[in-house]
Amino acid sequence: MQILIDNFSEIVDGFVVTLWLLLFAGLIAAVLGTVLVAMRVSPITVLRGAGTSYINVVRNTPLLLILFLFRDAFPKLGFNYSINNYFDFFFVAATVGLGLYAAAFVCEALRSGINSIPVGQAEAARAIGMSFGQTMRQVILPQAFRASVPPLVSTYIALAKNTSVALAIAVTEATFVMKKLTNDHPSERWWIFVGFAGGYILIVWVIALIGNVFERRGALAR
Amino acid sequence: MILTKRTRTGVLGAAAVLALILSACGNDSSSGSKTDVKVDDSAKFPAGSTMANLADAGKITIGVKIDQPGIGFQKPGADAPEGFDIEMGRVIAGALGIDDSGINWKETISDNREPFIQSGDVDIVLASYSITDDRRKIVGQAGPYYVTGQQLLVRTEDADKITGPDDLQGVKVCSVEGSTSLATVQDKYGADPTPQGTYSECVDALKNGTTDVVTTDGAILLGYAAEAPDELKVVGDPFSEERYGVGYKKGDTEFCQFITDTIKAAESDGTWATAFENTLGQSGVDTPDPPELDPCQ
């Protein structure tokens, strides 16, 4: 127990990196996931095909493999982007990798929402002369989003926990701090595990809470 | 799966080719110069002691690293690992009357050494296992059988800029995740850690510029520098003391005494020095004086 108190600031530093990963990767996933789902339900065959291919490739590839790809292939190709010393190359690589990976799941969560809207609504929108874009923006997506909240929450919870995989490509997030502490203090191993599990549970709990708020609002608006 | 006659032939053909490739790989994997180790068949031990149990079984399981050149390293396709830790493991097994065929090498990573000892999955651990007070709270550590120090490996063009640990403030430093070396540069010298799974991944990151320094025990770094002398250089003096010990189950003082005596004997009869020359000495370092061993508690 004492071990968690003594190293509290270091543990917090680790979880701050975890939260930055979650935030940036989550934003990438939200934007790209929305674009992808629009492609997947669009009337244009090429876009549908491209969206489906993306999902099939990215969703079926292990996350660790995607992260290794970014770590190894990009420096060889000359991409060595880092924003500053804190958001370094490894952080950027991990964020992009996590974001692209989670986007596939966000897309599918949103698509499940769209599929839950009766096709009659889209037909009615078309009948009064709305374009595809208008139909999506004003009729389908607002309702689809509400129906998608539970699977989206699951996706973001998975993303929060998947940030721990970034340890494998040299991001010093919470799991890195945990491994450092277990190596330095093997006799305190169990308390360290309990402490870090608690940290992740807290993050996930907040995400679930936000999800609940959205769900309740959706229920009222319907 | 339905196999037509044609695909079946194809599968068999592929298997045959694969077998050929594998056997071709296996041929050159015979491990290099091994130290001659006395296998003491006539050794007598008090009944019921760990030594007697191991000697009677004729088998010992030793936890080692397999990704550290010179210390404990298994070449792709090789049957057994090689390195200084491995040689010392063979010395201890030999004193129990167990030859190479009775040794079961089990890979351990830094994180699972204590659990492996506590659960009895391994009998002893020789895995660049630095002796620390906290580790001695939960496992026994006999030794040290080797004392080394942490150094820095940099790209040749940076060798003027980074000359020692004091230049590491805010610099990206790579070592294996969860290692003592990485904790030292992070906590004492303010380095920015970029942990990887293995040292070779660290060296790749150093070469492609995503990290600037690799740090671990000097002996390992010298091995990598020797592989790419134009690109990489080891700089500075050792700035920490790592005392490698043999891990065993806590409280087995008898066994500790046996391990300590065996290593002492190997140090005085020259086996220790030969083992060093055959492994870590290959990277060009002079054979040091064998270390003084701690008394068993």
Set of chain B residues whose Cβ sits within 8 Å of the Cβ of A169: 196
Cβ-based neighbours of B19, under 8 Å, separated by 6 or more: none
Could you tell me which residues are beta bridge partners of residue B196? B176
DSSP A188-201: GHHHHHHHHHHHHH
- Between these two residues, B43 and A3, which has the higher pLDDT value? A3
- What is the mean predicted confidence (pLDDT) over A163-173? 91
Mean pLDDT throughout A174-180?
90
Cα maximum dimension of chain B: 69
Chain A residues touching residue B135 (CB < 8 angstroms): 186-187
Residue A111 has a pLDDT of: 92
- How much is the pLDDT for B6? 52
Task: Give CA–CA dist A221/B288, Å, rounded.
Answer: 78
Q: Which of A75, A67, A128, A76 is nearest to A96 (CA)?
A: A67
Most confident of A80-84, A184-188, B80-84: B80-84
> Cβ of B9: how many Cβ atoms within 10 Å?
11
**Nearest CA to CA, how far is A1 from chain B (Å)?**
15
The pLDDT of residue B24: 46
Alpha carbon distances (Å) from B272 to B46, B131, B145, B263, B290: 26, 19, 9, 8, 8
* Residue B193 touches partner A, C-beta closer than 8 Å: yes
Mean pLDDT throughout A58-75?
Answer: 91
Give the gap in angstroms from C-alpha A187 to the nearest C-alpha of chain B: 6
Confidence grade of residue A187 (pLDDT, cut at 50, 70, 90): confident
The answer to whether the CB of B256 falls within 8 A of the CB of B140 is yes
Check pLDDT > 50 for residue A49.
yes
Q: Does residue A181 register a pLDDT over 80?
A: yes
Per CB-CB distance under 8 Å, the chain B contacts of A88 are: 172, 192, 194
Residue B33 has a pLDDT of 53
Chain A nearest-CA distance from B140, in A, is 12
Q: 10 Å Cβ neighbour count for B86?
A: 27
Q: Does A190 touch chain B (CB under 8 A)?
A: no
| Predicted pLDDT of residue B125 | 93
The pLDDT value recorded for residue B227 is 75
| ipTM passes above 0.90 | no
- Nearest Cα residue to A88 out of B34, B279, B210, B213: B210
DSSP track, A19-78: HHHHHHHHHHHHHHHHHHHHHHHSS-HHHHHHHHHHHHHHHTS-HHHHHHHHHHHHHHHT
- Candidates A75, A100, A123, A77; CA nearest to A25 is A100
Collect all residues of chain A within an 8 Å Cβ-Cβ radius of residue B118.
Answer: none
Mean local confidence (pLDDT), A179-194: 87
The reply to whether B133 touches chain A by the CB within 8 Å rule is no
Q: Do B180 and A89 make contact, defined as CB atoms within 8 angstroms?
A: no
129-168 in chain A: CB under 8 A from chain B: 167-168
Residue of B nearest to A82 (CA): B210
A170 and B195 in contact by Cβ < 8 A?
A: yes
User: In terms of residues, how long is chain B?
Assistant: 297
Residue B188 structure tokens:
């004492």
What residue in B sits closest to A188 (Cα-Cα)?
B134
> What strands, in cross-sheet order, belong to the sheet with B150-155?
B192-193, B172-174, B213-217, B150-155, B232-235
Q: What is the pTM of this model?
A: 0.75
Of B174, B177, B208, the CB nearest to A179: B177
pLDDT of amino acid B10: 52
Q: What pLDDT score was predicted for residue B32?
A: 47
Tens place of pLDDT for every residue, chain B, 297 residues? 444 555 555 555 555 555 544 444 443 333 445 777 878 777 788 888 888 889 888 899 999 998 887 888 888 888 889 888 999 999 999 999 888 889 999 998 877 888 999 998 999 999 988 898 889 889 999 989 998 889 999 999 998 999 989 999 989 999 988 788 898 899 999 999 999 888 888 999 999 888 999 999 887 888 788 778 888 989 988 888 889 999 999 989 999 999 999 999 999 998 999 988 888 877 667 788 888 888 887
Residue B290's pLDDT is: 87
DSSP 3-state of A135: helix
Q: Does A80 touch chain B (CB under 8 A)?
A: yes
H helix runs in chain B, sequence order: 5-27, 50-57, 84-95, 113-119, 133-138, 180-189, 199-207, 218-227, 253-268, 271-278
Nearest by CB to residue A184, choosing from B134, B177, B192, is B134
Residue B48 CA neighbour count, 13 Å, CB half:
0
pLDDT at A105: 96
Query: A179 and B111 in contact by Cβ < 8 A?
Result: yes
Quick check: A89 and A76 in contact, CB under 8 A?
no
Cα distance between residue B198 and residue B221, in whole Å: 13
Structure tokens given for A81: 């982007």
- Of B206, B203, B210, B195, which is closest to residue A93 (Cα–Cα)? B210
Q: How far is A59 from chain B (nearest CA, A)?
A: 25
Alpha-carbon gap: A158 to the closest alpha carbon of chain B (Å): 23
> DSSP code of B247?
E
- The predicted structure's pLDDT at residue B23: 47
Whether B194 and A72 lie within 8 Å, measured CB to CB: no
Q: What pLDDT, on the 0 to 100 scale, is given for residue A136?
A: 85
Given this model, what pLDDT does residue B26 score?
A: 40
Burial class, B160, CB count within 10 angstroms (exposed 0-12 / middle 13-18 / buried 19+): exposed
Task: Please give the residue of chain A at the shortest CA–CA distance from B139.
Answer: A187
Contact state of B137 with A187 under an 8 Å Cβ cutoff? yes
Chain-chain contact of A186 with B135 (C-beta, under 8 angstroms): yes
Distance from CA of A199 to the nearest CA of B (A): 19
| Tokens 């969860």, residue located | B178
In angstroms, what separates the C-alpha of A2 from chain B's closest C-alpha?
14
Q: Report the share of chain A in percent with pLDDT over 90.
A: 62
A88 touches chain B (CB under 8 A): yes
Give the length of chain A.
Answer: 222
Contacts of B172 in chain A (CB under 8 A): 88
